């Protein structure tokens, strides 16, 4: 079965053991993570919710910071994405 491209332009990264195919471009939240588990002799995926592919629902991991005791949402004023070494997604935001 061929699936259409996702509606969210996900940032993607991974290596031989870990895959992060759904890093949200707006706030860098991670909606899906996949790992290779030698004991299970296979791959395991963890998602924040069943509608992860559309970016809906709560993410698996959300990045927040605290400034003077007040939580701040990462990416609230926008993010700029770049790639280090052509594969590692990095971002900057205010």
With CA atoms as reference, report the closest residue to 11 among 3, 20, 74, 54.
20
SS3 at position 52: helix
Mean pLDDT of the chain: 87
Give the C-alpha separation, 85 to 87, whole Å. 6
* The model's pTM: 0.79
The per-residue pLDDT for range 18-53, each reduced to its tens digit, is: 999 999 998 999 999 999 888 778 889 999 999 888
């Amino acid at each position: 079965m061929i699936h259409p491209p996702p509606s969210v332009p996900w940032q993607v990264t991974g290596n031989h053991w870990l895959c992060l195919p759904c890093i949200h471009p707006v706030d860098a939240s991670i909606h899906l993570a996949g790992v290779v588990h030698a004991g299970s002799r296979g791959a395991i995926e963890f998602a924040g919710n069943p509608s992860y592919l559309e970016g809906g629902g709560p993410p698996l991991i959300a990045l927040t910071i605290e400034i003077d005791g007040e939580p701040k949402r990462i990416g609230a004023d926008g993010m700029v994405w770049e790639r280090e070494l052509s594969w590692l997604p990095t971002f900057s935001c205010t």
